[in-house]
Amino acid sequence: MTTADPERTFPAAGVVGGLGAVLRRPRALVARAEDALHRPLTTYYLLMASAGLLLVIGLVMVLSASSVFSYRVSGDSYTIVKRQLMWASIGLPLAYVVSRTPVRWVRRLAYVGFSVSLALLVLTAVMGVEFNGNTNWLRVGPFLVQPSEIAKLSLIVWAAHIYANKERRLRSLHQIMVPVVPGMLAATTLVIVGRDLGTALVLFAILIGMLWVVGAPARLFVLSTMVISVGALAMAATDPERLARITTFVDPFQDFHGTGWQPAHGLYAMSSGGLLGQGIGASQQKWGALPEAHTDFIFAVLGEELGLLGTLLVVGLFLTLAYAALRLARQTKDPFVRYATFGIVVWLVGQMIINVGMVLALLPVIGIPLPLVSYGGSSLLPTLIALGLLVGFARREPEAARALARRRRTRR
């Protein structure tokens, strides 16, 4: 006697069973995702993967966005991307070395890095090279470097070192303020002397982020916001070109052939990309209509060639990087790691938000590159070193270190 198949005898039972299986799949996927997020090496892998993908996307987009400009200037479409590859080949080994450097050695270099950064900023203010109206470049032999990019990382490490030493005294407003706030304001003032409003705003954002993470009182944030707003308006009001950029960014087409030219063509590039984009290398705006296509406005070329999905991928990778870093800052017991990690997150994600806001005409054009994606060794090297620090912090967390040790033993 054979047993009847219930799904054949009662078809509805088979439908219900199949529906139950379909409903269980999302739950299983959610359970697997939660399990993966609780593994000790998740933060380490998220940092490595998101940073690596952003760097690869950046190299591809620099190649595409700079090819026309590079050929017009040098006769070789690959000149600029070759330089970016050179900086990446220097930065990646440095990031690896930094990731393996003990935290105590990083902290010993905090004051040295801060002092060197201030000295370079002073030299830039005195004998810097002017470019696009900003005196924020310094000639070092055959190279032009931007000391303010180096200062972002050195200021974060220096402030994190000081706050870690004062961990038990941070209930005092005086201990929170001195010497971090005067030191950061001194560096920011030197940047403002060079008329670099964009970098000054990033440094202010880093300062506000560091004050927030150490528990500064709310009235200090209100006062800081007022000072920053007044200072930014004063800088804009004293510069006709900068004032025009700020007053026309909401509707760049009202001064299409003037200050609105760059943001308007950025919007043209983004709107023509559609969902999937025109394809890598197929941008039309990079043929001369869009200034700074491979630097500050590379996100516009990315949107034109890779579409909405490409831009969402890049923003998602930055958010993944931020999630992993904040996860590290929340879990660590080392105050220096917590403060330095949070400062790096504020720097990179804040700069991304400003850059994307510029391209989308949500913010004025203030000359901020997109980290890891825009062309420029002065920006790429400190960013890679900062990410090397984060990766090193993540792999030294006790559970992650034990997991890596077990993996090495099993491979042997």
User: For residue 6, what pLDDT is reported?
Assistant: 47
d(CA 23, CA 28): 9
Looking at residue 350, its pLDDT comes to 95
pTM of the model: 0.90
- Cα 334 to Cα 216: distance, rounded to the nearest angstrom: 19
Token digits for 34?
């939660």
| Residue whose pair of structure tokens reads 């008329």 in the numeric block | 195
* Of residues 162, 160, 154, 166, the one with CA closest to residue 112: 154
Q: Which residues of the chain have pLDDT under 70?
A: 1-25, 31, 33-34, 232-233, 235-250
The 3-class SS string of 26-50 reads HHHHHHHHHHHHCCCCHHHHHHHHH
Sheet containing 143-145: which strands, arranged edge to edge? 129-131, 134-140, 143-145
Q: Supply the angle between the helices 110-127 and 180-193 in degrees, to the nearest 10.
A: 30
Give the Cα separation of 197 and 193 in Å (integer): 9
Nearest to 43 by CA among 399, 411, 406, 333: 399
The token duo for 173 is: 């407003």
Task: For tokens 């070109």, name the residue.
Answer: 241
CA triple 329-334-338, angle to 5 deg: 30
Q: Where are the beta strands (DSSP E) in 77-146?
A: 129-131, 134-140, 143-145
Question: Distance of CA 412 to CAs 40, 86, 178, 212, 396, Å?
Answer: 21, 35, 51, 46, 21
Separation CA 116–CA 26 (nearest Å): 53
Structure tokens at 84: 């970016």
Note the pLDDT tens digit of each residue in 143-181. 889 999 999 999 999 999 999 999 999 989 899 999 999
Contact 120, 353 (CB under 8 A): no
Q: What pLDDT, on a 0 to 100 scale, did the predictor assign at position 220? A: 82
